[in-house]
Amino acid sequence: MTAKILLLFLVAAFATITLTEGKRNVVCYYGSWAVYRPGDGKFDVEDIDPFVCTHLIFGFAGLKEYDNSIYALDPYNELYENWGRGAYERFTGLKKINPELVTILAIGGWNEGSVKYSKMASTAEGRRQFIDSVVPFLLRYGFDGLDMDWEYPTQRGGVAEDRDNFISLLRELKAAFAPEGLVLTAAVSAGEQTIDEAYEIPIVSELLDMINLMTYDYHGAWETITGHNAPMYAHPLDDGNVTNFNVNFSLNHWLTNGADPAKIQLGMGFYGRGWSLNNIEDNGPYAPANQPIQAGPYTRQAGIWGYNEVCEQFLADPAGWTVVRDEYYQSPYAYNGRNWIGYDDMESLTKKMELIIIALHI
């Protein structure tokens, strides 16, 4: 498998499986910043195989705080204006190769924060300004819909009223999208407390065409002990609310609280999170680790490696790495000296697809 193909999976935040009108959907997020990665890590729109995913989501657009309008976060890369590279239209142009492909623009993401989305959604006028900018923006660049990636209502500087205001925003977006046949989806939290505070699940489910569940980032280098990025089940060492930091709990929490099974997309991250161990002899789950793993050559961020970077590390030192398939994580972690990384591979992703097939009865 080439580095380019591997990176397709790296830049997809979700590769999910659900059933809509008898067909299984695979929804993939494309992180547009991958175009700036060096060497084999560089990944542009034309590197996407338009037949791998049924839905492609371009991440991300932003929100202008002063007038509540949508805008291109990287106009040089995303627009043709001012001699730009036109990634938006090249992305939606993939439908010329695969006419069945659905292309969606995501707005928000972690770096955009929550505060300005909270302010926009707090008034009818703010929501109207936003929606009046979104519809022509999507149509201008050929997108089939919007993915609302507000992370998260009521959180990170938001207010309690966000829960109701998020519903108002989705309802008004849905009404405005209907005449144009546009799709409305959202990326939503997998954390129990955030879910309960942020979302009126039955109404959110009714209003959205797809619910993209972010079942990853449960553990990472913001903690000082090792833990898997996306564990399938609770680990015996889990304590307190950490017992709910796993894919199985998050999926069932959404379902038992009123999410339509046909709309749930189970998120699968094609990257790992890792640490530098304090003691190389203590190398299992919950091992003390006060520092993140060193940055990889492509993602260039301490504490995280793309799956392609994991594979390259293994190939460079096959005898040095020990891979463990934890019976509770149902996903591998590996260590080599002080390096510790928890990630997903083909075997663990297959298990997660089996989980959602059973849970959603598809």
pLDDT tens for 126-145 read 999 999 999 999 999 999 99
CATH number of the CATH domain containing 322: 3.10.50.10
Does 66 share its domain with 134? yes
Distance between CA 304 and CA 335 in Å, rounded?
14
CATH number of the CATH domain containing 241: 3.20.20.80
Does 181 share its domain with 314? no
Residue 80: per-residue pLDDT: 97
Residue 12: per-residue pLDDT: 41
Does 16 share its domain with 137? yes
Greater confidence (362 vs 201) lies with 201
Query: Could you confirm whether 151 is annotated as catalytic?
Result: yes
Share of the chain above pLDDT 70, in %: 93
Q: 165, 121 in Cβ contact below 8 A?
A: yes
Q: Is 58 helix (H, G, I), strand (E, B) or coil?
A: strand
Distance between CA 143 and CA 92 in Å, rounded?
6
**What stretch of H or E contains 271?**
strand 271-276
pLDDT tens for 81-113 read 999 999 999 999 999 999 999 999 999 999 999
25 pLDDT exceeds 80? yes
Q: How confident is the model at residue 15 (pLDDT cuts 50, 70, 90)?
A: very low
Residue 360: per-residue pLDDT: 76
Does 238 share its domain with 315? no
Question: What is the chain's Cα-based Rg?
Answer: 20
Give the Å distances, CA to CA, from 307 to 50, 275, 292, 294, 304. Answer: 20, 16, 17, 15, 10
Structural domain tally of the chain? 2
Mean pLDDT of 335-351: 97
DSSP labels, 95-115: GGT-TT-EEEEEEE-GGG-SH
pLDDT tens for 240-297 read 999 999 999 999 999 999 999 999 999 999 999 999 999 999 999 999 999 999 999 9
* Structure token digits, residue 276: 């530098």
Mean pLDDT of 29-41: 96
pLDDT tens for 295-333 read 999 999 999 999 999 999 999 999 999 999 999 999 999
Q: Which domain holds residue 197?
A: 3-269+348-359
19 pLDDT exceeds 60? no
The structure tokens 């371009």 sit at 58
Residue 22: per-residue pLDDT: 56
Q: 212, 266 in Cβ contact below 8 A?
A: no
Amino acid identity, position 31: G
Distance between CA 245 and CA 228 in Å, rounded?
10
Does 100 share its domain with 153? yes
Residue 256: per-residue pLDDT: 97
CA distance between the termini of the chain: 30
Q: 182, 134 in Cβ contact below 8 A?
A: no
Does 203 share its domain with 295? no
Q: 59, 30 in Cβ contact below 8 A?
A: yes
Amino acid identity, position 335: Y
- Residue 25's DSSP bridge partners are 18
- Assess whether the previous peptide bond of 152 is cis (omega < 30° from 0): yes
Of the residues 78, 112, 151, 309, only one is catalytic, namely 151
Mean pLDDT of 56-81: 98
Does 255 share its domain with 290? no
Cα 76 from chain centre: 24
Taking alpha carbons only, the member of 100, 92, 84 closest to residue 30 is 92
Q: How confident is the model at residue 362 (pLDDT cuts 50, 70, 90)?
A: low
Query: What average pLDDT does the chain have?
Result: 93
Distance between CA 326 and CA 331 in Å, rounded?
6
Residue 361: per-residue pLDDT: 73
Residue 166: per-residue pLDDT: 98
